[in-house]
A and B are shown apart, each in its own frame.
Chain A
Amino acid sequence: MAGESGGESNRTNAFVVSARKRTMQKVAKKAGESLLFTVASFVAVIVLFIFYFVARDAVPFFQIRGFTEFFTSSNWYPADDPGEFGALAIIYGSLMVTLGSALIAVPMGVAAAICLSDILPFSIRQYAKPIIEMLAAIPSVAFGFFALVVLAPLLQNNGGPMLMWAWWILVSPFMLLAVIVLSDLLTTKIIEPKRRQQLHIFLLILFSFLSIFLLFKVGTVLYGIQILTGTNALNVSIILSFMALPTIVSVSEDALQAVGRDIREGSYALGATRAETILKTVLPAGSSGILAAVILGIMRALGETMVVWMASGNSSQIPEPWFNYLQSIRTLTATIAGDMGEADQVTGSARFHVLFAMGLLLLVISFISNLISERIVVRQRKILSGQ
């Protein structure tokens, strides 16, 4: 370039670059690029550091105490001398509240995601999205405070009636639906119209009575339940499900949006209703993305600290019977948060290192589930773009 424009160098100054300057620029470009790369790889370095430093303090625990006690015993007496470090009940508590919150958050979250992606018109969706973002933005300690100060006394004082009302409000619409669908399904085989109608009405009445009986029977049982403590697994599960919902909704909405219009239109063209289209074509096509959303939401519940620390009751026990959500439990995160203050004075003791062992367990679980959900998303994107 310098040779070509030599004659009129004054006018085209901006484009004339000497050979030396060019190499300088090249070097600068390489240097800049590698600097950018260094900063970007900082993230990977941090991840490695987190694994290293948590594992460094976790390994001594397993060297001192071995694996068996930690994973199989539920005697948690770290302050005793000699201490006992059985974390089974604590791990169980973590899994219990995670499962509980998933049971509430997954159906609601997927339904809300479907609603946002397929049902609501754009104008309403604009207002619904900020609601979900606000729910995600509320600090965990505010949720924890709500669980401890508002929800726990409510559950403790009016637990039975609240359970009964929740049962009636949540279940009766589905019961009604089940009655209608069941009586219809059972009569489709009969060809003679008059007999079919008679049988249909008979079944409707029969099932209605059955379902009302069931509603009242279970309702009265729930009404009689006395909740001894408001800080229990149910309380925590409800609040954690609020916290997992935004993640589940937004990630599964992305997955549903990624399923193309053509699939939906094909289904409509075959005469399917919207519900059938979504349930039979859109959901199966987006199922892996929804699975990824569920995994991410569950991880949020498993890794949450403040809510469980404040409102789970913090008693290291496996509830009696094992599915009793109305008893206090203790989780991994709450144990780390609560015991570190007493343990970090005596660095080197098993009491300090057991907390890092718990942290390592959480870290490994979150790492694996992240990898899985990432793989799922990548694969779904490949499949959908390949079609």
Chain B
Amino acid sequence: MNIGTRKILDRSFTAVGIGSIVVMAIALMIVVVPIITNGIGAVFFTGTVEHRKMLFSEFKRGDSENLSSEVASSNRYRAKVYGMLTGFEAELETMAPEKKAEYQAKYSEVRAALQALLGPLPGDPEPMLTRFKYGQTRWEKAEEKLHDLLYESKWDNSNPEVMAKEYFVSRAIGFQGTSLVKLFPYVKDNFEEILLPEFTFYWGFITDSSVDSHFFGGIWPEIQGTFFLAIGAMLFAFPLGVVAAVYFTEYARPGFLNSMLRSANSTLAGVPSIVFGMFGLAFFINTLKVSESKSVIAGALTLAIMILPTIIRAAEEAILAVPKTYREASLSLGSTKWNTIATVILPAALPGIITGGIISLGRAAGETAPIIFTAAVSVGSAIGLADVLTSPTPALSWNIYNLASEHEAAAQIRHVQYGMVLALVSIVLMLNLSAIVLRARISKKLKG
């Protein structure tokens, strides 16, 4: 081959390597950036007067005088809308029967759109579900609903070769010649006066319980459940893992038994997470009966088994990284082996062991599959520390799945889902970042 071609090949080889690392960084960005930007929207957003109404009546938060003046000014503008509705209803009565039936269908669509936008209309019965008691609490959602009110969505099926396309027709055209035609421009022009948008910092998203299966309110029960599960798993796995690591590094003699134990450790590390969940169900709940059915303790035990191999490996590495001179100095002063381990080696290895522990804590917090059958419920309030032994808990990881895939109105509460994902990802990444920083400091220290 030509020297030139060989050089080109060499350069492009380098480019492929660097390119794949760049692609990984971009992949990380592509996944994390929408989660962060949309997740922040769960806490910082433009809230409407409906949001402040909801906060006041569900959580007793906010200034009641201020709120009542806002509601009064909003109601002044809404009254005109309601007046147009009653006017059109009277007009409907005077129409010919077939014309009336035609308008009736269209009118009920308009009413439904208005209900979604503003909450119950005058004359409506008190709704059973909290989600129907208020109009749109978020400005961007309100704008979507306004679009639904102004335009009717239709599907273009004319070309069977391609997928049907959605297009929009103005509803006002359908009401041409009636009194209701004025409603559409009125709502559009006075939209801000009706809903009074205002920049909102809803810190309650972190500390509130959810109202009506996450339509309103926050995610505190999930955050608390995640902490219970992850810390519970650490309480079991950390001591066990450190002791096992001490055995492997200080006492184990090479041989068949030792290699068996090591194989067992790597096998455990490779078991698919869902199998841990099945094992937790079959062993902790159905056989040991640590609790009647799902419970935090069963979930924590299952997670503990899952993170045990990681902790053992990290602790082993940390212990092996302690310089030999420490050990020799301690032994030469006449202390026993056990003394050396307890007073010299473990303290020196502690930062490294804790680093491994932090990473495992993050993994326990983020895993979903092991807790599906052992600990997680989709709806529930925060549980007290005393209920840990008997009751299941909502947890961030499981509820993200549940809200995104199984919730009856998953598309309407995207902001809550994003907020939850951001909470989970930031907990896990924060733990990992602190582990990375800690490790960098240790390696500096050990180098001297």
Interface of A toward B, CB cutoff 8 Å: 14-15, 25, 29, 32-33, 36-37, 39-44, 46-47, 49-50, 53-54, 56-57, 107-109, 111-112, 114-116, 119-120, 128, 130-135, 137-146, 148-150, 173, 177, 180-181, 184-185, 188, 226, 228, 242, 245, 249, 273-276, 278-279, 296, 299, 302-306, 309-310, 333, 336-337, 340-341, 344, 347, 355-356, 359, 362-363, 366-367, 369-371, 374
Give chain B interface residues in 248-305, CB to chain A under 8 Å: 248, 251-252, 260-261, 263-279, 281-283, 286-287, 305
Interface 1/0 per residue, B342-385 and A, CB below 8 Å = 00000000000000000100110111110011000000000000
**Which residues does chain B contribute within 8 Å of A57, judged by CB atoms?**
278, 282
Distance between Cα atoms of A161 and B18 in the complex (Å): 26
Contact between B17 and A33, CB atoms less than 8 A apart: no
Contact between B247 and A43, CB atoms less than 8 A apart: no
Contact between B6 and A276, CB atoms less than 8 A apart: yes
Pull 28 A–B residue pairs with CB atoms less than 8 Å apart, ordered by A. Answer: A37-B251, A43-B268, A50-B279, A53-B287, A56-B282, A119-B18, A120-B18, A128-B25, A138-B32, A139-B366, A139-B424, A140-B367, A141-B368, A141-B398, A142-B31, A145-B400, A145-B401, A184-B1, A226-B162, A242-B27, A273-B7, A273-B10, A299-B270, A306-B401, A340-B372, A359-B275, A362-B272, A371-B267
Q: 19 other contacts beyond A15-B334, A46-B308, A336-B274, with CB at 8 A cut-off?
A: A29-B336, A29-B337, A40-B243, A43-B309, A43-B312, A49-B279, A50-B271, A114-B17, A141-B366, A142-B35, A144-B404, A146-B31, A148-B404, A181-B9, A303-B270, A309-B405, A336-B278, A347-B286, A355-B278
Contact between A137 and B1, CB atoms less than 8 A apart: no
**Which residues does chain A contribute within 8 Å of B276, judged by CB atoms?**
50
Contact between A37 and B31, CB atoms less than 8 A apart: no
**Which residues does chain A contribute within 8 Å of B201, judged by CB atoms?**
none
Distance between Cα atoms of A115 and B404 in the complex (Å): 38
Contact between A47 and B267, CB atoms less than 8 A apart: yes
B244 at the interface (CB under 8 A from A): yes
Contact between B271 and A366, CB atoms less than 8 A apart: yes
Q: A32-B338, A371-B263 are in contact. Are A139 and B251 (CB under 8 A)?
A: no
Looking across the interface, which residue of chain B has its beta carbon closest to that of A118? B17
B429 at the interface (CB under 8 A from A): yes
Contact between A40 and B9, CB atoms less than 8 A apart: no
**Which residues does chain B contribute within 8 Å of A32, judged by CB atoms?**
338
Q: A112-B21, A173-B12, A370-B270 are in contact. Are A137 and B432 (CB under 8 A)?
A: yes
Contact between B244 and A39, CB atoms less than 8 A apart: yes
Q: Tell me the minimal C-beta distance from A278 to chain B in angstroms.
A: 7
Interface 1/0 per residue, B13-37 and A, CB below 8 Å = 1111111110111011001101100
Interface of B toward A, CB cutoff 8 Å: 1-2, 5-10, 12-21, 23-25, 27-28, 31-32, 34-35, 162-163, 240, 243-244, 246-248, 251-252, 260-261, 263-279, 281-283, 286-287, 305, 308-309, 312, 334, 336-338, 359, 362-363, 365-369, 372-373, 397-398, 400-401, 404-405, 414, 417, 421, 424-425, 428-429, 432, 436
**Which residues does chain B contribute within 8 Å of A149, judged by CB atoms?**
404, 414, 417
Q: A47-B267, A305-B369 are in contact. Are A36 and B9 (CB under 8 A)?
A: no
Q: Tell me the minimal C-beta distance from B328 to chain A in angstroms.
A: 19
Which of A29, A47, A57, A131 is most buried by chain B, counting CB atoms within 10 A of its CB? A47
**Which residues does chain B contribute within 8 Å of A43, judged by CB atoms?**
244, 261, 264-265, 268, 308-309, 312
Looking across the interface, which residue of chain B has its beta carbon closest to that of A110? B20
Q: Tell me the minimal C-beta distance from A368 to chain B in angstroms.
A: 10
**Which residues does chain B contribute within 8 Å of A304, judged by CB atoms?**
272-273
Contact between B13 and A275, CB atoms less than 8 A apart: yes
Q: Tell me the minimal C-beta distance from A321 to chain B in angstroms.
A: 21
**Which residues does chain A contribute within 8 Å of B359, judged by CB atoms?**
137
Distance between Cα atoms of A43 and B273 in the complex (Å): 16
Contact between B400 and A273, CB atoms less than 8 A apart: no
Q: Tell me the minimal C-beta distance from B197 to chain A in angstroms.
A: 25
Distance between Cα atoms of A36 and B258 in the complex (Å): 13
Contact between A340 and B369, CB atoms less than 8 A apart: no
Q: A53-B287, A112-B21 are in contact. Are A177 and B9 (CB under 8 A)?
A: yes
**Which residues does chain B contribute within 8 Å of A374, judged by CB atoms?**
263, 266
Q: Tell me the minimal C-beta distance from B256 to chain A in angstroms.
A: 12
Which of A134, A141, A340 is most buried by chain B, counting CB atoms within 10 A of its CB? A141
Looking across the interface, which residue of chain B has its beta carbon closest to that of A296? B270
| The residue from A25, A44, A242 contacting B261, defined by CB atoms under 8 A apart | A44
Contact between A340 and B281, CB atoms less than 8 A apart: yes
Looking across the interface, which residue of chain A has its beta carbon closest to that of B248? A40
Contact between B1 and A119, CB atoms less than 8 A apart: no
Which of B1, B18, B275 is most buried by chain A, counting CB atoms within 10 A of its CB? B275
Distance between Cα atoms of A32 and B243 in the complex (Å): 11
| The residue from A54, A116, A181 contacting B5, defined by CB atoms under 8 A apart | A181
Distance between Cα atoms of A385 and B373 in the complex (Å): 46
Which of B252, B274, B281, B429 is most buried by chain A, counting CB atoms within 10 A of its CB? B274
Distance between Cα atoms of A249 and B24 in the complex (Å): 11
| The residue from B6, B14, B247, B401 contacting A141, defined by CB atoms under 8 A apart | B401
Distance between Cα atoms of A40 and B251 in the complex (Å): 11
**Which residues does chain A contribute within 8 Å of B279, judged by CB atoms?**
49-50, 53-54
**Which residues does chain B contribute within 8 Å of A15, judged by CB atoms?**
334
Distance between Cα atoms of A43 and B243 in the complex (Å): 12
Q: Tell me the minimal C-beta distance from A115 to chain B in angstroms.
A: 3
Contact between B243 and A36, CB atoms less than 8 A apart: yes
Q: A108-B24, A135-B28, A140-B368 are in contact. Are A46 and B7 (CB under 8 A)?
A: no
Distance between Cα atoms of A177 and B11 in the complex (Å): 11
Q: Tell me the minimal C-beta distance from A365 to chain B in angstroms.
A: 9
Distance between Cα atoms of A108 and B337 in the complex (Å): 47
Q: Tell me the minimal C-beta distance from B266 to chain A in angstroms.
A: 6
Contact between A144 and B401, CB atoms less than 8 A apart: yes
Contact between A40 and B27, CB atoms less than 8 A apart: no
Q: A54-B275, A135-B27 are in contact. Are A41 and B261 (CB under 8 A)?
A: yes
**Which residues does chain A contribute within 8 Å of B13, judged by CB atoms?**
274-275, 278-279
Contact between B34 and A302, CB atoms less than 8 A apart: no
Which of A185, A249, A306, A367 is most buried by chain B, counting CB atoms within 10 A of its CB? A306
**Which residues does chain B contribute within 8 Å of A40, judged by CB atoms?**
243-244, 247-248, 252, 261
| The residue from B282, B309, B417 contacting A356, defined by CB atoms under 8 A apart | B282
Distance between Cα atoms of A130 and B437 in the complex (Å): 10
**Which residues does chain A contribute within 8 Å of B286, judged by CB atoms?**
347
**Which residues does chain B contribute within 8 Å of A25, judged by CB atoms?**
336
